[in-house]
Amino acid sequence: MLIPATLRERWSGFAGAFVALCLGSAITSMSALAYASADPQVPARLAGAPVLVRAPVAVRADGDFTPDRPWSPETVISLAGRLAAVPGVAAAVPDHVFYAQPVIGGRPIGDGRGHAWSAAALAPYPLTSGRAPERDGEVVLDRALGAGPGTRVTLLTSAGPAPYTVTGTVDEAGPYLSDAAAARLAGGVRTIGLVTETGADPAAVERAAREVTGDRGEVLSGEARAALEPLDDARIRWIGAQVLTAMVILAGFVSIFVVASTFAFGVARRRRELGLLRAVGATPRQIRRMMYGEALAVGAIAALTGVSLGAALAPVLGDLLVEVGFQPATFAVRMRAWPPAAAFAGGLVVAGLGVWSASRRAAGVRPLEALRDAEVDERPMPRGRWISGAVCTLGGLAAAVAGLTTGAAEMVPYVIYIAMALIVGLTLLAPALIPPVIRMVTWPLIRLRGATGLLVRENSLAAVRRTASTAAPVLATVGFAVLVTGMVQTTAAAYGTGRTATLQAGAVVLPSGTPGLSDAVGGVSALPTAVYGETVTVPAAGVTPEVLARSGTPKMISGSLGDLRGETMVVREWLAEETGWRPGDVADITFEDGRTVALRVVGVMAEAPFSMLLPRQLVRAHDPSALADEAYLPYPVPMAGELGARVVDLATYAVEADAEEDRLVWIFTLLLVATSAGYTAVAIANTLMMATASRTRDLTALRLAGATNRQVLGVMAAESALVVAIGTALGTMVALPALLRMRAGLATSIGAPVPLVVPWPVILALVVACLLLAAVTSMLTVRTRPE
């Protein structure tokens, strides 16, 4: 009976915990629904083949999206022939994929993936008009492009733009070339689709295909065919999973943070009430049980409300993820039972964790506290709090320094854990740090405002824990925002500086509407590719002496780049250590066309963007569809770009080279900051309402002493501003040392000065929002209290 009565009488004291848990459950519910819906999809252009055979799959680390080793041409011919002879199989179609992009209205259209006409049977995509391509220079396009049979179009390939004649159209796919043309443009084959005869048993075909394939491939059917989704889509899904995971982690952390602050402050307000309970015979165990009961009651109602809200908003989140590029276009949220159930259970767990510390403190209240009337808090900080605060703070700073080598894509998830440690550490130490900060900040206020300043200072010093509780949400938000946004922006600036630090070029050519640059684009360029050893997939690049002269010559540990010609290679130090290769060794390397060549090691290099350097002509001979990421021009004067390319100066190149990845990371960052700010609004409003409501007698005494209502409101507004200033100062103190250390490490790594970039307008907007919310909440609460 006591718990329902307490909830009814003190509902305003539980409002913040309710809103925090509701918000956390909503975020968890909709994020979990989106996460559970982010399954790979069977590619539409392969969906008509009941059975697919793919090349053996390599074991990859999480986040590695390098392609699998392709079959050799001889293996493709042999395997396709034997699979075609399986009873029930009408055709075994090797899937040749290559770069081909139609130009419509003067600009490239589509994703740049072309296919052989025979692969149209795997969807199937029947002709909607015209005929199939039969010879070079003929193409079948998606009829949505508006180019009917007989139309002349330009098709971009790795060799450059070329004229083609449209012979037919299909729905939702293309371009399709003749099988002979596709075989010349494509690299290796990794998939063979089996088109079955009418009435054939797919299960029987699958069993027979497994016997034929053996260990030369993997046979897939049904939903398992989704494993063949494009690697670009798989990478986007992986990035989306990181976003959703980080949102859930942040929601759980901040929920615990807000609930713990709310209940801890509630215990401080209820010390007399808890003392009375102890005086009438309540045991510490009963007090703890009461606190847990209150938290779980609030948590159950809040979690149920939040789960319902999250389920309703999940489709909106799904559309947003697709819109900003965190999920592929085929993504859609599907309703399932377990994500809301897990979110509800998580809400109860968060409520229990949040009240744990407060319940221990409540159980320690002595019966004599019932006689206590003043709010002066002179109790020293417990030793355990000192130790925990110091460990968290130092651990967070150490992790920030240790994470200097983290890549841009992994920076934000990694830094969340750093921010958590630092925020928790400084929050634990806040009661010890706040008094000197108060004296320092209020000194000019006393000189300028007289009695008002003195009241603000003494009120804040008399109730340090109250001040710490109200400053904690601001500390958390400002510290998190400065640290996360500063690390992301500074890292992006450092990478931009590093890209141009060794570049010996006047201008750079970048793709425009295409996935890369063809050989017809001017300038010199490296040719990225992937090569395959016996146990590793290695990112490699084909280079020339001119490319190395423009982009920067890597530091050699042994051997010479001058010997890089013919069938040779230069490898990174890590690869040489892993494989045992030394200059003069010969190793078998498989290229993108599936052919294996014996290459001689002529050098080992220390640092380079790629793990292996090869002669450019060798890469082009074995990867006919490879595209360059960028090309270098010797002159700084801007030029008109080629079709599918544009020329930029070095400053623009430094900003735009990784613009898409930087955009995704920045959107991710702002999403996390907005989530944190939402929780801060809840915590500030709730804590100030509780703190102000508990000071009715103080404010009444102040009015009886002659203070006008305007003066009382001024004191409350000044106290709110002081709390926000303290939280902002401590939050900035959390972040800036780590950011400065990170900047120094990045500068040392790239060998050039790195600016410290913090988006101060974003931080200032957060601080102003906190200030307005704090002032309005405290003054409204005062105006609603009786005078």
Taking the C-alpha atoms of residue 681 and residue 369, their distance in angstroms, rounded to an integer, is: 32
Query: Which residues are within 8 A (CB) of 84 and not within 5 positions of it... i.e. 6 or more apart?
Result: 91, 92
> What does the pLDDT read at residue 138?
96
Q: Is 480 exposed, middle or buried (0-12, 13-18, 19+ CB in 10 A)?
A: buried
Q: What are the φ and ψ backbone dihedral angles of 730, each rounded to 5 degrees?
A: -70, -40
Coil, helix or strand at residue 34: helix
The DSSP string of 583-617 is TT-EEEEE-TTS-EEEEEEEEEES--SSSEEEEHH
pTM exceeds cut of 0.85: no
Q: For residue 683, what are its two tokens?
A: 């915590």
C-alpha atoms less than 13 angstroms from C-alpha of 493 in its C-beta half-sphere: 18
Please report, for the chain, the start and end positions of each structural domain, with discontinuous segments joined by +.
1-41+231-373, 45-230, 379-499+652-787, 507-651
Taking the C-alpha atoms of residue 352 and residue 357, their distance in angstroms, rounded to an integer, is: 10
Relative orientation angle of helices 11-37 and 659-693, to the nearest 10 degrees = 160
Taking the C-alpha atoms of residue 256 and residue 21, their distance in angstroms, rounded to an integer, is: 8
Write a three-state SS string for 202-246. Answer: HHHHHHHHHHHHHHHCEEEEHHHHHHHCCHHHHHHHHHHHHHHHH
Mean pLDDT of successive 10-residue stretches along the chain, which has 787 residues? 56 67 84 86 90 86 79 92 94 94 90 92 92 94 92 93 95 89 91 93 93 92 90 84 79 70 66 72 81 82 89 88 83 87 85 74 65 50 74 75 54 61 74 72 59 63 67 79 83 75 81 90 90 84 91 88 94 91 94 94 89 95 93 73 81 74 78 76 70 64 67 74 82 76 71 82 88 78 55
CA angle 273, 277, 281 (to 5 degrees): 165
CA distances from 725 to 193, 231, 261, 422 (A): 65, 48, 19, 18
Question: Residue 98 pairs with which residues in a beta bridge?
Answer: 114
Q: For residue 328, what are its two tokens?
A: 């592929």
CA terminus-to-terminus distance, the chain: 33
> What does the pLDDT read at residue 536?
76
| Cα 36–chain centre separation | 17
CA distances from 586 to 552, 570, 622 (A): 27, 12, 18
Taking the C-alpha atoms of residue 113 and residue 96, their distance in angstroms, rounded to an integer, is: 10
Taking the C-alpha atoms of residue 24 and residue 22, their distance in angstroms, rounded to an integer, is: 5
Q: Which amino acid is at 683?
A: A
> What does the pLDDT read at residue 429?
76
> What does the pLDDT read at residue 787?
47
CA angle 357, 358, 362 (to 5 degrees): 120
Query: Which residues are within 8 A (CB) of 707 and not within 5 positions of it... i.e. 6 or more apart?
Result: 715
**Residues 606/556, Cβ–Cβ less than 8 Å:** yes
Taking the C-alpha atoms of residue 500 and residue 407, their distance in angstroms, rounded to an integer, is: 18
> What does the pLDDT read at residue 6?
58
CA distances from 204 to 49, 98, 687 (A): 14, 32, 67
Strand order across the 631-633 sheet? 631-633, 507-511, 645-648
Q: For residue 407, what are its two tokens?
A: 């890549």
Is the peptide bond prior to 175 cis by the omega test (within 30 degrees of 0)? yes
Query: Which residues are within 8 A (CB) of 576 and not within 5 positions of it... i.e. 6 or more apart?
Result: 582, 601, 604
Any idea which residue has 């009430």 for tokens?
A: 273
Taking the C-alpha atoms of residue 624 and residue 134, their distance in angstroms, rounded to an integer, is: 21
